[in-house]
Amino acid sequence: MSIKDQIKIMVVDDMATSRGLVINGLEEIGIKNITYETTGDAAFEVLSKAPVHLVISDMNMPGMSGLDLLKSMRENASTKRTGFILLTGSDDPSLVQRGIKLGMNNFIKKPFSVPQLKSCMERVIGKI
Amino acid sequence: MPFIEWRLKPQTGDNTLDTMESIKQTFFQECEDLLQDLESGLILMNDGEGDDETINSVFRAVHSIKGGAGAFELTDLVKFAHIFENTLDEIRSDRLEATKEVLTVLLQSSDLLMDLVEAAREGGSCNEERSQKLMDTLAGFIGAPAETPTETAMPDFEPQSMDDMGFQPLVMDFGFDGDGDDQQAAGFSIHFTPTAKMYAHGNETARLLATLASLGDMKTTCEHADLPDFDDLEPEGSYLSWDIELTTENEEEDVRENFEFVEDDCELIITPLGGISLPELPVLEDLEIEPTPVAIEPETLEVKAPEPEVKKTETKKNTETKTAKPNTGAPATIRINLERVDRLINLVGELVINQAMLTECVVDAGLSQDPSVSSGLDEFKQLTRDIQESVMAIRAQPVQPLFQRMSRIVRKAASATEKSVKLVLEGEFTEVDKTIVEKLADPLTHMIRNAVDHGIESPEKRVENGKPEEGIVTLSAAHRSGKIIIEVSDDGAGVNRERVKQIAIDKNLIQEDANLSDSDIDNLLFMPGFSTVETISTLSGRGVGMDVVKRAIQSIGGRVVISSTPGKGSTFTISLPLTLAILDGMLVTTAGQTLVVPLTSIVETLIPSPEDIHPMGSNSVINIRGTFVPLVDVGHELGFTQEPTDTNNCVVLSIMTDDGVQSAVLVDTIQDQRQVVIKSLETNYGHVPCIAAATILGDGRIALILDVDHLIEQAGQRTPSPELPQIAAE
């Protein structure tokens, strides 16, 4: 059993396009267990009952933003150790700073290639 | 706007291309929604009704379009969306005030973005000059050069380095083996506790374990601590559980499959061997249970001893997530290929016909008196109707997107004519059959352009006439007595009747000495070949006049009428059928022909006494409770017979036309009232005056569906007495 087979990843993004691109990338990398949610609130609800290893969440979402989700996750015992990669359209340093403070593991800027996504994840979970 | 998600298949070769193409299609679909959000948000802001969430959603829309466009390397789109997004960001963070001037540019930008998306979708290109100009203006607002984002296209692969941001990725240790391909003890630790039910259902643990063993190497321990004394033993109870350590290359699903048929009758906990346990850990910690890694040693099961129930449920939940519906909480919406819905509608049409045929057969067989047969038939009829309505509801969609598109037309028209015009939308959530919505786009566009171009006066003139500088065009939709009413009205100058009449005379459309009422003159606008603008303006005069609008609306079974008040403005009222597929009709006989009269236009039916009917010219009038209304003899008018209908033995249908004129039609008898499936005459035969469409009756014969309004209009034109309805009763 390799990481690919074991790791559970949740993709959180309200936009089907962006969600599709991430899921597609993850599947291309060979990740087997991928779930997704379309809002931060729904994601948090599911995560607090059934944590995953890694969350890849978009920043810009209606309602709970990506960082809001991260904050909630870090404040919750069952999700505080879950990996978090922020998907962002901008590389605004203040956004990254806020992410660091909240304990984000890494971030990836859109648009990204599959190798970029892989490398971004590897920096968090080790070689895939 | 969630919809059924395509699940992506594992990628192999060409598949990737297909998947990317399908995501791209999703992107364009999503763009439609986003552009709509963008526009409606900007309009709200323009009306001064926006709040923080409005600007946020406007920003998000542009941001998401840019994001998606970047992934597909749509550079023009990314370039423009980038500066647009930046401007919105400035407004969002209160660094730029959203003045009227700014909002006008933003609305123009939204229009351009729409065009750019369209161009990207069609593979065409957009007016670069226009794009550049807007980008410069936007850049001017935020005080930055309209530079291109540095990473429009996907940059070549390079390891992400966030060092310059002072960011080092936080490494997680999940206890995974670093080298992914290196296999550790692959397999599962399985805890299996059957319930008594499982045995009652005829399943055996021994057999289950035997098949499980075929998946790999297996070590089994039977837990019998719960076994009671022999005296207390229930012969049909279940007291044993098993701990199994299975070494296998198979997937968890394969293991689970083994227990497929007993899933509900047992407790099953499957944990990967030597694998990960992170997600479970915090939960266990939370419950103050010793956080023993679940799967490393077979003895783990002892963990369950102190608080077995809690742990089991938690673990079970975890295993459930895999199969859990991913879309929790989001309202479920799906996108369906329209063809499928159309096929369903056609089938429902067939069902309606079939139901009518069956009813007829039952009557012919003399079974209609049998209570069980007739109640069964009634039920069938009701079900058919319910199905039909449900299917229609699938196709129904709010007119909002269509209406919103019109605000764009107004903006364009207003700027082209240098007028200040605001579009007010009412009833935009009224639902209309999708086909109708689509077919309304062109006529509405034309009418809206007309309203701005010809209806609304120039700002100077409006001020002169004591009106506010900004003209108002109102577009409204409503359901009224089984029809959809769409109105386009303006608060402009109204129809210049003198001029309209003069033009009609000049163009030989009417006689110079024609005696026309105001509404007759207004209706001249709908005559083919009429155009009040001598030189074709770039805007509304594109070689098509209101007659084209009228024809387009007639082609979808609708009607359009105009009412106008000089100095106050004009209103065009379109009335449309709810659906193009099925209508409720009254089956009538006249001169031996069976006709269908749409139920929506019938106010009442009555059996007149012959003395109530008075001949007048070539037509008649009928006295209905003291009011004389024109009476049209259907059989005679349509030329089925030369003889007038026998007024001693007839039925009168009192009709209210769409323009609100009361009238009546004369037929021989009423047969029935039922749903009929509309079959277009135009597509199968050709247009017949006064006939809206045809239908197939229960016995397979064809019956014509009457266009009552047209029939009354035609009869009225023949009788030179437009004042007829006003005649008071003696």
Which B residues in the span 25-54 are in contact with A, Cβ-Cβ below 8 Å? Answer: 26-27, 29-30
Provide the residue count of chain A: 128
CB B690 within 8 A of CB B638: yes
> Is residue B207 located within the same domain as residue B109?
no
- B596 and B570, same structural domain? no
Residues 6 or more apart in contact with residue B287 via CB below 8 angstroms: B307, B310, B311, B314
Q: Tell whether B147 is covered by a domain.
A: no
The pLDDT value recorded for residue A118 is: 92
Angle at B643 between CA B641 and CA B646, to 5 degrees: 115
Q: Which residue of A has its CA nearest to B248?
A: A1
Please list, in sequence order, all residues whose beta carbon lies within 8 angstroms of the beta carbon of residue B259, skipping any fewer than 6 positions away. B192, B208, B266, B268
The partner residue sitting opposite A17, judged by closest CB among B2, B23, B275, is: B23
Q: Identify whether the C-beta of residue A125 lies closer than 8 Å to the C-beta of residue B174.
A: yes
Contact B62, B85 (CB under 8 A): yes
Tell me which chain A residue has its CA closest to the CA of residue B9. A27
Domain count, chain B: 5
Tell how far CA B146 is from the center of its chain: 38
B427 touches B466 (CB < 8 A): no
CB contact at 8 A, B657 and B709: yes
Residue B17: which pLDDT band, with cuts at 50, 70 and 90?
low
Residues of chain A in contact with residue B278, where contact means CB-CB under 8 angstroms, are 51, 53, 81-82
Of B136 and B516, the one with more pLDDT: B136
Selected for mutation to probe chain B from A10, A13, A14, A17 (highest B CB count within 10 Å) is A17
Is A16 in contact with A47 (CB distance < 8 Å)? no
pLDDT at B373 over 50: yes
Same domain, B539 and B403: yes
Domain for residue B166, yes or no?
Answer: no
User: Any idea which residue has 């500066």 for tokens?
Assistant: B83
**Is the CB of B64 less than 8 angstroms away from the CB of A15?**
yes
Per-residue pLDDT tens for B282-313? Answer: 332 332 222 223 332 332 223 333 333 333 33
Chain-chain contact of A7 with B68 (C-beta, under 8 angstroms): no
Q: Report whether the peptide linkage leading into residue A111 is cis, meaning its omega lies within 30 degrees of zero.
A: yes
10 Å CB burial of residue B490 (0-12, 13-18, 19+) is buried
Residue B589 sits in the same domain as residue B715? yes
Which among B174, B183, B330 is the nearest to A38, CB-wise?
B330
Domain match, B192 and B307 both:
yes
Q: Which residues on A lie below 8 Å from B68 (Cβ)? A: 15, 17-18
* The pLDDT of residue B725: 38
Q: B501 and B587, same structural domain?
A: no
B366 plus B477 within the same structural domain = no
Residues B390 and B415 in one domain: no
User: pLDDT tens-digit profile of A83-117?
Assistant: 999 998 877 788 888 888 888 999 998 888 899 99
* Pair (B632, B715) in one structural domain: yes
Same domain, yes or no: B596 and B710:
yes
Question: Chain A residue closest to B247 (CA)?
Answer: A1
Mean pLDDT lowest among B196-210, B343-357, B680-694: B680-694
Nearest chain B Cα to A88, which residue? B67
Q: What is the CATH number of the domain that holds B229?
A: 3.30.70
Q: How confident is the model at residue B532 (pLDDT cuts 50, 70, 90)?
A: low
B71/A124 CB distance under 8 A: no
Which pair of structure tokens corresponds to residue B565? 């008040």
For residue B13, is pLDDT > 60?
no
B177 vs A33, B248, B250, B319, B672, CA distance in Å?
A: 17, 18, 19, 22, 78
Mutation target vs A (from B15, B270, B288, B328; most A CBs, 10 A cutoff): B328
pLDDT of A124 = 87
> Are both B559 and B592 inside the same structural domain?
no
pLDDT digits (tens, 9 = 90+) for B28-41: 888 988 998 899 89
Domain A3-123: give its CATH superfamily: Response regulator (3.40.50.2300)
Per-position DSSP letters for B290-318, written without gaps between them:
----TTTSGGGGGGGTTSHHHHHHHHHHH
Q: Do B179 and A127 touch (CB under 8 A)?
A: yes
* B649: in domain: yes
* pLDDT tens column, B441-472: 888 988 998 899 888 999 999 999 899 989 99
Tell me if B171 and A42 make a contact (CB, 8 A cut-off).
Answer: no
Confidence of residue B613 (pLDDT cuts 50, 70, 90): confident
B701-713 pLDDT, tens digit each: 889 999 888 888 8
- If you ran DSSP here, which 8-state letter would residue B451 be given? I
Contact: A82, B279; criterion CB under 8 Å:
yes
Residue B618 vs residues B290, B463, B632: alpha-carbon distances, Å: 101, 51, 10
Give A38 to chain B, closest Cα distance, Å: 7
Q: What is the 3-state secondary structure (H, E, C) of B384-432?
A: HHHHHHHHHHHHEEECHHHHHHHHHHHHHHHHHHCCCEEEEEECCCCEE
Smallest CA-to-CA distance from A111 within B167, B153, B78 is with B153
Q: CA of B88, closest CA in chain A: separation in Å?
A: 14
CATH of the domain at B691: 2.40.50.180
Say whether A96 and B10 touch across the interface (CB within 8 A). Answer: no
B108-112, B336-340, B648-652: least confident range: B336-340
Nearest to B23 among A20, A33, A128 (CB): A20
Q: Where are the domains of chain A?
A: 3-123
Residues B413 and B392 in one domain: no
Which of B63, B281, B328 shows the shortest C-beta gap to A60?
B63
Tens-place pLDDT, residues A27-79? 999 998 999 999 999 999 999 888 889 999 999 888 899 999 999 999 888 88
Averaged confidence pLDDT in chain B: 77
Instruction: Say if B80 falls within a structural domain.
Output: yes
Phi-psi group of A58: left, alpha or beta (phi > 0 → left; psi -120 to 50 → alpha; rest → beta): beta
Q: Which of B318, B312, B252, B308 is nearest to B280 (CA)?
A: B318
ipTM of predicted assembly, 2 dp? 0.86
B203: contact with A, CB 8 A cutoff: no
* Residue B321 touches chain A, beta carbons under 8 Å: yes
Contact, B34 vs B365, CB < 8 A?
Answer: no
Count the neighbouring beta carbons within 10 Å of the beta carbon of residue B56: 18
Q: Position of tokens 């203040």?
A: A94
Contact present, B242 and B222 (Cβ < 8 Å): yes
Report whether pLDDT(B280) > 50.
no
Contact assignment for A116 to B157 by CB distance below 8 Å: yes
For residue B372, the enclosing domain spans: 338-396
